[in-house]
């Protein structure tokens, strides 16, 4: 720059010279140079991204049409290129739309909508088309058949990268065996080095879309990979919503103010935002008034015995209205004022106005505006005579007893001075003003009394003052005035943010739901334990979002190395840039040892046989880049991700700790099961008696439920003893080879081909026992089965 | 004598089998087998006004099959009971160490002892529960090698017949070695004025070399550090049967006070046998912390472990007397300890010519 400037005087044509080189860049051309931003940075990656874009579109299209998705992906080698075919059973695309959808970047219906969908910018599939044409020179081949139409439309098209417009090479009708759907065929320079990511993408997509069916064929597979449907339940249809007041930024607000057809702020708020009705809008407007106009301080009204004096003041202020009416006016007014606890300037004006009307009517006298103003002007100084004393009592109330009285008097006096001298006649101040008053007063007190009012003490005083101040009723500016004034708009924005407003409706979101998250994990991972959690919706930048987490543990999952983390945004798996993703950051920051997972060093990715999946659904997912690989570190989202994971992890923890305690119990039972019989044998040797029965002792030690059988001359006694500390309800089935008779209690007998099933489900309280007796022929044999009690807690001796 | 010992063997055997039967019955009733024992810590020993010794208090701990640890202990107990019962049946004996090694031959691996402390402790447990002494189980400790030297004639019942021995005239300079079961000794005749128990070998040898035993008609008992049961038992018998005063001469440090404590009051580990082993009338000669000050003896500074031991003695009911509190406080104050042999700083004869005569005179022993 400096070099140009130094030569400016000599060569005036330089700007024109430069201008010759400046021209509009077509968006297609721009992305041609920035392929990496869209996930097409390498041949390996490009293939995965192309599949991803096409599958995402297919899923969105089918779901929108209420069709259970059936998606077919095929990759094959064709000479030097790879051919990619993706077919869906969606509603199809009309003949007019096909070229635009596939042949024009940034064409889409979703960019402007606040609604959860997989694609957002409308670049994905057209970028794939572009990538294919740039690497292979071949046009994209698209077949689409809409429901009910007899034929399918077939196109071959390329993108004109200068104009960002589709260029149709071939267009004809053709026949297709699918009744409806879309098929896209792309040829591109690529390789299969990212095979793992491709498989992951399809697998993960199957996990979060349990309602969809997928089939993948690629050269490295002997058999096609098939993922079957686990549920018939389609995701909830989403609907579009207006922005939420907590989520907009100043620039957006200004744009909305400029564009709205509303005239009043109240109308604007209710029309343009979600969750704002009359009540909320008046709350927002009050909060705006507090910021824009400030509040008015209320002061303690004089005691009743000072009424006479006040009446005199009022009477003096009224001229030429006759003695009777003047006295009536003054007395009525003073009565009302004294009857109030505290009063603000505006309130006084209102009261004066009311009294003027009522007394005026009674006495047939007109107390006009001038009279009213005179009265207020005369009365207000009297009412605010003792600001210092009033503030002192507030300060005294909220400061600790440790503060000296002299200090309190000093700070109160300084605050009172501020109100008297800087707020105009109405004692009106914003929160910031009050803050300044108190800070200034505290400094003076430090100087004069050498007493420090720290931050907390000052805050308490500010809060006490602010709570005594009243929101004013001044008219708020009109929408068009706010739209022109950044500062006023900022006050409005702050008012919106300060006000408690219901979270945005979530019908714009379609979470998978905890139940289906678990279902999806169960479908694709063979584990021992599954848990899932879906959080309530939260808001970020006016966009609601929902976070869900699921965990699968144990079973066939690999136990060495770190756990597998599956990240999803709006049901789309994120397979690249795991390290840059906020989900990964959150997972690494959680202390997994608390949840029973190994975590070397106490932070970072935990180890163990587990799969953790996190799904963030939002009307606007904040990605770190256009390629949509990683979620940005947005605090509101991070918090929810953490809470969702912790919720699911808590279930894992209790599962693991239960498993560990059962393992310990099993181990103890194993050891005792070895030691106690040896001891019994030894004892019988020493005492010369028969070996004692140790089952009772063992069951008691293990706090178990024991089931014993005693057969005496055809009389069978089953005894259930509960040595545990909780109630137990075992289901006992005794299979007897001969017909039992004389059953007591509530047992039932079922005859099944010469075997009798005696079913008995006693409720046994802690420390109690239950018995069942029946008679049976001498040579009967028994086979007992006990359910409803964990194996580890059961001692069967029958 | 023979019939008497047989009776005690029979009683011992019976009691062991009763104990096994109790475990058996507990099993049979569906209860968890357990064995209750007095808690063996210093907080659970109390002074018995009648016998003037320290015995276990009321607090008990339970070895129960409820836990794997407890079950292992009881399994070992069952095996040990069987072993002891058979040993008594066959009239044989064994040492504690042999029991530890013998457990290796038991078929149940869980019953093997992991170290000798464990087997020793179990034998003590069985002593307490069955109220039979180890000696009556025919369990011997390894020879401690403690000796007697002085004007005493005894008859010892050895496995090779009776021996009549004079503990001055019939023995070499090493003295008469106390057998494992001193109840096999009969006192025949003596000329003893007092019994002096000496902690270290060096001091014992000094006293003999200087002819202290002859000059003062003293029976010198060599304790060899923490005295074995046999040493304490014979000391008690000398006191009780021959009505002799007993004094204890040790180093001047906290560990040595415990040696005196176990002679006089009984040890915490074997408080169940205090009546049988402790000599409550035994008195402490020195080295007292006061002597360190009075004689300006060469000293070592107290180590941290010494200080802890002294502090813990202040909480030990056996040492809660004015004398001990005063001495221990003094020692903590000066922060020093001294060995018996530190007296040699004043010459080799100082101990026999000056220190002991003065101390014993003060104590009214001579």
Which tokens go with B11?
A: 């009683």
**pLDDT band for position A642 (cuts 50, 70, 90):** very high
Q: What SS3 class is residue A733? A: strand
Q: Can you give the pLDDT at residue A12? A: 56
Chain A residues whose CB is inside 8 A of the B85 CB are: 686
Tokens of A58: 């297919």
Q: What residues contact A166, with CB distance under 8 A and at least 6 apart?
A: A99, A100, A102, A103, A104, A157, A158, A159, A160
The number of C-beta contacts closer than 8 angstroms across A and B is 88
Query: Beta strands A213-217 and A70-78: pairing type?
Result: parallel
Look at residue A7 in the predicted model and tell me its pLDDT: 47
Measured in angstroms, the CA of A663 and the nearest CA of chain B are apart by 14
Is the CATH number 1.10.10.10 carried by domain B8-140? yes
Q: Do A598 and A608 form a contact (C-beta atoms < 8 A)? A: yes
Span of A32-41, A251-260, A387-396 with lowest mean pLDDT = A32-41
Note whether A682 contacts B85, CB cutoff 8 Å. Answer: no
Chain A contact for B24, CB < 8 A? yes
Annotated binding site of A: 57, 88, 109-110, 119-126, 628
The residues, any chain, with a CB within 8 Å of residue A262's CB and separated by 6 or more, are A268, A271, A272, A479
- DSSP-based three-state secondary structure for A712: strand
Pairing of strands B300-301, A794-797: unpaired
Q: Which residues of B are known binding-site members?
A: 199, 251
Same domain, A647 and A758: no
Q: What is the pLDDT of residue A239?
A: 73
Among residues A227, A262, A286, the one where a domain terminates is A227
| Residues A356/A329, Cβ–Cβ less than 8 Å | yes
CA dist A483 and A474 (Å) reads 19
Specify the pLDDT at position A128.
Answer: 86
A87-101, A102-116, A737-751, B315-329: lowest mean pLDDT where? A102-116
B101 included as an active-site residue: yes
Q: How far apart are the C-alpha atoms of A491 and A292, rounded to whole Å?
A: 6
**Structure confidence at residue A4 (pLDDT):** 43
Pick the closest to residue A425 from A377, A466, A475 (CA basis): A377
Instruction: Give the residue, A33 or B285, on which the prediction is more confident.
Output: B285
- Residue A156's nearest CA partner among A175, A143, A145, A137 is A143
DSSP A741: B
When pLDDT is cut at 50, 70 and 90, the band that residue A2 belongs to is very low
pLDDT in tens, A557-580: 888 889 999 999 988 888 888 888
pLDDT at B2: 42
Q: Give me the DSSP letters along A212-259.
A: -EEEEE-TT-SS-EEE----SPPPPPP---PPPTTT--HHHHHHHHHH
Tell me, what's the pLDDT at B6? 55
The radius of gyration of chain B from alpha carbons, rounded to an integer in Å, stands at 22
More confident of the two residues B20 and A124: B20
Q: How far apart (Å, rounded) are the C-alpha atoms in residues A649 and A640?
A: 14
End-to-end CA distance of chain B: 37
Q: What integer is the mean pLDDT of B81-105?
A: 87
Same domain, A522 and A632: yes
* Helical pair A265-272 and A250-259, crossing angle rounded to 10 deg: 110
**Residue A669 located in a structural domain:** no
In this complex, do A671 and B71 lie within 8 Å of one another by their Cβ atoms?
yes
Contacts of B216 (CB under 8 A, 6+ apart): B193, B194, B360, B366
C-alpha span between A149 and A747 (Å, rounded): 65
Which of A683, A684, A689, A707 to substitute to test the interface with B, most B CBs within 10 Å?
A683
Q: What is the mean pLDDT of residues B73-82?
A: 90
Asked if residue A451 and residue A355 are part of one domain, the reply reads no
Q: For the segment B305-338, what is each residue's pLDDT rounded down to a tens digit?
A: 999 999 988 888 888 889 999 999 999 999 999 9
A391 shares its domain with A378? no
Question: Taking residues B63-76, what's their average pLDDT?
Answer: 86
In degrees, to the nearest 5, what angle opens at C-alpha B188 toward C-alphas B186 and B194? 95
pLDDT exceeds cutoff 50 at B344: yes
Phi-psi region of A322 (alpha: psi -120 to 50; beta: other; left: phi over 0): left
- Flag whether A687 is in a domain: no
With beta carbons less than 8 A apart as the criterion, state whether A696 and A784 touch: no
Read off the tokens for A287: 């909060």
Q: Which residues pair with B56 in a beta bridge?
A: B45
**Pick from A764-773, B51-60, B199-208, B338-347: least confident:** B51-60
Of B152, B142, B133, give the one whose Cα is nearest residue B233. Answer: B133
Average pLDDT, stretch A230-258? Answer: 81
More confident residue, A10 or A85: A85
CATH (domain of A58): 3.30.565.10
In a domain? residue A334? yes
Report the range of poorest mean pLDDT among A504-508, B110-114, B322-326.
Answer: A504-508
A309 with A334: CB under 8 angstroms?
Answer: no
A636 and A524 belong to one structural domain: yes
Selecting from A674, A680, A700 the residue whose C-beta is nearest the C-beta of B110 gives: A674
Asked whether A571 and A615 are in contact (CB, 8 A), the reply is yes
**Residues A679, B28: C-beta atoms closer than 8 Å:** no
Residue B196 binned pLDDT confidence (cut-offs 50, 70, 90): very high
DSSP states of A106-158? T--SSTT--S--S--SS-HHHHHHHHHHHHH-PPEEEEEE-TT-SSEEEEEEE
Helix (H, G, I), strand (E, B) or coil at B154: strand
Q: Does residue A699 contact residue B34 with C-beta atoms inside 8 Å? A: no
Question: What integer pLDDT is reported at residue A152 of this predicted model?
Answer: 87
Which chain A positions have a beta carbon within 8 Å of B84's beta carbon? none
- Among B24, B26, B72, beta carbon nearest to A687: B24
The residue ranges of every structural domain in chain B are 8-140, 147-363
Residue A504's contacts (CB-CB under 8 Å, 6 or more residues apart) are A241, A244, A247, A274, A275, A537, A539, A542, A543, A544
**Domain contains A539:** yes
Do B357 and B366 contact (CB within 8 A), yes or no?
Answer: yes
User: How far apart are alpha carbons A624 and A580 in whole angstroms?
Assistant: 8
Task: Label residue A21 by pLDDT band (50, 70, 90).
Answer: low
DSSP one-letter code for A764: B
Of A155, A259, A657, A692, nearest to A483 by C-alpha is A259
Contact B20 A693 (CB under 8 A): no
More confident residue, B345 or A122: B345
State whether A618 and A644 are in the same domain: yes
Query: In this structure, are A563 and A586 located in the same domain?
Result: yes
Number of domains into which chain A is organized:
6
Contacts of A700 in chain B (CB under 8 A): 30-32
Q: Which of B65, B75, B108 sits opposite A697 (nearest CB)?
A: B65
* CB atoms inside a 10 Å sphere around CB A8: 10
- Closest-CA residue to B242 (of B203, B185, B284): B185
Both A191 and A57 in one domain: the answer is yes
Residue pair A356/A482 in contact (Cβ under 8 Å)? The answer is: no
Taking an 8 Å cut-off on Cβ atoms, the answer to whether A683 and B23 are in contact is: yes
Which DSSP letter does residue A793 get? Answer: G
- Which one-letter DSSP state was computed for residue A385? T
| Annotated binding-site positions of B for Mg(2+) | 199, 251
Share of chain A above pLDDT 90, in %: 20
pLDDT at A26: 67
B298 CA: distance to closest CA in chain A (Å): 54
Percent helix, strand and coil across chain A, each to the nearest 5? 45, 20, 35
Q: What percent of chain A has pLDDT over 70?
A: 94
Q: Which CATH architecture has domain B147-363?
A: 3-Layer(aba) Sandwich (3.40)
Catalytic residue among B101, B295, B323, B355: B101
Q: What does the alpha-carbon distance between residue B252 and residue A281 come to, in Å, rounded to a whole number?
A: 91
Structure tokens at B111: 């019953």
Q: Record the tokens describing residue A174, joined without a space.
A: 């053709």
A49 and A163 in a single domain? The answer is: yes
User: Would you place residue A123 in the very low, low, confident or very high pLDDT band (cuts 50, 70, 90)?
Assistant: low
ipTM of predicted complex: 0.75
pLDDT of residue B1: 39
Residue A222 has a pLDDT of: 86
Cis omega (within 30 of 0) on the bond before A269?
no
Once rounded to an integer, what is the mean pLDDT over residues B163-167? 91
Residue B28 has its nearest CB partner, among A686, A693, A701, at A693
User: Do residues A155 and A174 share a domain?
Assistant: yes
With an 8 Å Cβ cutoff, is B300 touching chain A? no
Asked whether the beta carbons of B283 and B321 are under 8 A apart, the reply is: no
B30 touches chain A (CB under 8 A): yes
- What whole-number distance in Å separates Cα of residue A678 and Cα of residue B109? 10
Residue B102 scores a pLDDT above 80: yes
The structure's pTM equals 0.58
Is the model's pLDDT at A741 over the cut of 70? yes
Domain stop point among A383, A413, A435: A383
CB contacts of B21 in chain A (<8 Å) are 683, 687, 689
Q: Are A153 and A98 in contact (CB under 8 A)?
A: yes
B110 CB within 8 Å of a chain A CB: yes
What's chain A's average pLDDT?
Answer: 85
Q: How far apart are CA A212 and CA A228, in angstroms?
A: 7
Enclosing domain of residue A283: 245-296+476-498
Tell whether B23 lies on the interface with A, counting CB pairs under 8 A.
Answer: yes
A181 lies in the same domain as A81 = yes
Whether residues A539 and A591 share a domain: the answer is: yes
A30 vs A220: which has the higher pLDDT? A220
Residues B248, B264: contact at Cβ < 8 Å?
Answer: yes
Question: What integer best gives the mean pLDDT of chain B?
Answer: 87
> Measured between alpha carbons, how far is B273 from B205 in angstroms, rounded to an integer?
31
Distance from the A690 Cα atom to the nearest Cα atom in chain B, whole angstroms: 10
For strand B139-140 and strand B94-95, is the pairing parallel, antiparallel, or unpaired?
parallel
- In this structure, of A65-69, A304-308, A353-357, A637-641, the range with the lowest mean pLDDT score is A304-308
Q: Which residue of B has its CA nearest to A686?
A: B82
Beta bridge partners of A607: A562, A598
Q: Does B69 lie at the interface with A, CB-CB under 8 angstroms?
A: no
* Phi–psi pair at A303, nearest 5 degrees: -70, 160
């Amino acid at each position: 720059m400096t070099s140009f400037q130094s030569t400016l005087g000599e060569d005036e044509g330089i700007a024109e010279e430069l201008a010759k080189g400046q021209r509009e860049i077509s968006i297609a051309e721009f992305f041609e140079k920035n392929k990496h931003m869209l996930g097409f940075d390498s041949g390996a990656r490009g293939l995965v991204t192309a599949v991803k874009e096409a599958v995402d579109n297919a899923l969105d299209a089918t779901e929108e049409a209420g069709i259970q998705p059936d998606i077919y992906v095929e990759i094959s080698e064709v000479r030097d290129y790879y051919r990619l075919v993706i077919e869906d059973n969606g509603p199809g695309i009309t003949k007019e739309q096909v070229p635009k959808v596939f042949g024009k970047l940034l064409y889409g219906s979703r960019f402007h909508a606040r609604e959860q969908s997989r694609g957002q910018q409308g670049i994905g599939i057209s970028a794939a088309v572009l990538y294919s044409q740039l690497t292979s020179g071949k046009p994209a081949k698209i077949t689409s058949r809409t429901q009910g139409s007899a034929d399918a439309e077939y196109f071959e098209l390329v993108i004109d990268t200068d104009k960002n417009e589709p260029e149709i090479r071939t267009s004809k009708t053709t026949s297709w065996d699918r009744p409806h759907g879309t098929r896209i065929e792309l040829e591109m320079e690529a390789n299969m080095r990212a095979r793992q990511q491709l498989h992951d993408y399809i697998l993960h997509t199957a996990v979060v879309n349990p309602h969809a069916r997928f089939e993948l064929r690629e050269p490295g597979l002997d058999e096609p990979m098939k993922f079957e449907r686990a549920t018939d339940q389609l995701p909830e249809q989403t609907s579009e919503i207006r922005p939420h007041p907590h989520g907009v930024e100043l620039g957006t607000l200004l744009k909305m103010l400029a564009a709205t057809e509303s005239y009043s702020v109240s109308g604007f708020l209710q029309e343009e935002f979600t969750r704002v009705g009359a009540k909320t809008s008046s709350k927002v407007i009050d909060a705006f008034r507090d910021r824009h106009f400030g509040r008015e301080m209320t002061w303690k009204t004089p005691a009743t015995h000072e009424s006479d004096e006040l009446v005199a003041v009022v009477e003096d202020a009224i001229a030429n209205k006759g003695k009777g009416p003047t006295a009536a006016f003054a007395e009525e007014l003073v009565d009302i004022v004294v009857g109030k606890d505290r009063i603000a300037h505006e309130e006084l004006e209102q009261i004066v106005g009311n009294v003027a009307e009522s007394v005026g009517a009674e006495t047939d006298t007109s107390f006009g505006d001038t009279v009213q103003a005179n009265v207020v002007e005369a009365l207000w100084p009297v009412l605010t005579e003792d600001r210092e004393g009033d503030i002192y009592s507030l300060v005294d109330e909220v400061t600790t007893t440790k503060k000296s009285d002299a200090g309190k008097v000093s700070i109160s006096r300084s605050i009172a001075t501020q109100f008297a001298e800087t707020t105009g006649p109405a004692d009106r101040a914003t929160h910031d003003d009050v803050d300044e008053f108190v800070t200034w007063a505290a400094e003076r007190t430090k100087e004069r009394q050498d007493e420090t009012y720290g931050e907390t003490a000052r805050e308490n005083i500010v809060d006490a003052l602010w709570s005594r101040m009243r929101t004013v009723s001044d008219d708020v500016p009109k929408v068009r005035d706010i739209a022109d004034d950044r500062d006023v708009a900022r006050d409005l924005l702050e008012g919106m943010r300060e006000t408690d407003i219901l979270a945005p409706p979530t019908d714009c979101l379609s979470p998978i739901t905890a139940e289906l998250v678990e279902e999806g994990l169960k479908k694709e991972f063979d584990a021992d334990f599954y848990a899932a959690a879906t959080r309530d919706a939260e808001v970020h930048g006016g966009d609601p979002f929902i976070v869900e987490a699921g965990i699968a543990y144990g079973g066939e999952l690999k136990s060495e190395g770190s756990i597998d983390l599956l990240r999803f945004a709006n049901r789309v798996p994120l397979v690249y840039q795991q390290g840059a993703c906020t989900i990964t950051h959150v997972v690494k920051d959680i202390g997994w040892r608390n949840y029973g997972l190994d975590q070397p060093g106490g932070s970072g990715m935990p180890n163990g046989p587990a799969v953790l999946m996190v799904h963030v659904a939002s009307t606007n997912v904040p990605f770190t880049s256009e390629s949509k690989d990683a979620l940005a570190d947005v605090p509101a989202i991070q918090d929810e991700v953490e809470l969702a994971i912790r919720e699911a992890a808590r279930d894992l923890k209790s599962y693991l700790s239960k498993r560990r305690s059962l393992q310990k119990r099993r181990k103890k039972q194993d050891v005792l099961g070895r030691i106690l019989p040896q001891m019994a044998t030894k004892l019988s040797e020493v005492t010369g008696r028969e070996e004692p029965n140790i089952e009772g002792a063992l069951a008691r030690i293990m706090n178990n439920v024991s089931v014993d059988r005693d057969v005496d001359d055809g009389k069978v006694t089953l005894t259930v003893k509960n040595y545990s500390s909780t109630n137990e309800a075992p289901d006992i089935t005794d299979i007897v080879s001969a017909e039992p008779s004389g059953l007591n209690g509530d047992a039932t007998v079922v005859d099944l081909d010469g075997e009798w099933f005696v079913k008995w489900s006693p409720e046994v309280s802690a420390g109690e026992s239950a018995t069942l007796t029946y008679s049976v022929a001498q040579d009967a044999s028994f086979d007992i089965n006990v359910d409803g009690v964990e194996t580890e807690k059961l001692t069967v001796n029958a | 004598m023979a019939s008497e010992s047989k009776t005690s063997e029979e009683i011992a055997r019976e009691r062991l089998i009763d104990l096994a039967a109790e475990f058996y019955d507990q099993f049979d009733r569906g209860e968890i087998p357990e064995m209750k024992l007095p808690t063996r810590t210093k907080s659970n020993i109390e002074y018995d006004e009648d016998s003037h010794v320290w015995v276990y208090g009321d607090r008990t701990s339970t070895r129960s099959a409820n836990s794997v640890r407890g079950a292992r202990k009881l399994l070992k107990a069952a095996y040990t009971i069987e072993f002891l019962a058979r040993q008594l049946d066959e009239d044989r004996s064994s040492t504690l160490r042999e029991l530890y090694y013998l457990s290796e031959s038991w078929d149940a691996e869980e019953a093997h002892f992991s170290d000798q402390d464990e087997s020793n402790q179990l034998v003590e447990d069985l002593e307490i529960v069955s109220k039979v002494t180890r000696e009556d189980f025919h369990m011997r400790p390894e020879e401690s090698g403690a000796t007697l030297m002085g004007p005493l004639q005894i008859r010892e019942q050895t496995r090779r017949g009776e021996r009549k021995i004079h503990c001055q005239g019939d023995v070499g300079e090493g003295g008469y070695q106390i057998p494992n079961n001193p109840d096999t000794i009969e006192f025949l005749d003596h000329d003893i004025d007092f019994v002096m128990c000496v902690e270290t070998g060096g001091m014992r040898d000094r006293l003999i070399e200087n002819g202290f035993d002859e000059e003062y008609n003293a029976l010198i008992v060599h304790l060899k550090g923490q005295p074995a049961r046999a040493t304490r038992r014979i000391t008690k018998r000398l006191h009780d049967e021959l009505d002799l005063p007993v004094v204890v001469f040790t180093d001047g440090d906290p560990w040595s006070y415990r040696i005196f404590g176990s002679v006089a009051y009984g040890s915490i580990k074997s408080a169940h046998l205090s009546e049988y082993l402790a000599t409550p009338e035994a008195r402490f000669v020195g080295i007292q912390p006061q002597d360190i000050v009075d004689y300006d003896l060469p000293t070592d500074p107290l180590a941290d472990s010494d200080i802890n031991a002294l502090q813990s003695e202040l909480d030990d009911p056996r040492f809660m007397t004015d004398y001990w509190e005063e001495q221990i406080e003094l020692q903590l104050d000066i922060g020093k300890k001294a060995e018996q042999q530190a007296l040699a700083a004043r010459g080799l004869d100082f101990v026999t010519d000056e220190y002991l005569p003065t101390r014993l005179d003060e104590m009214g022993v001579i």
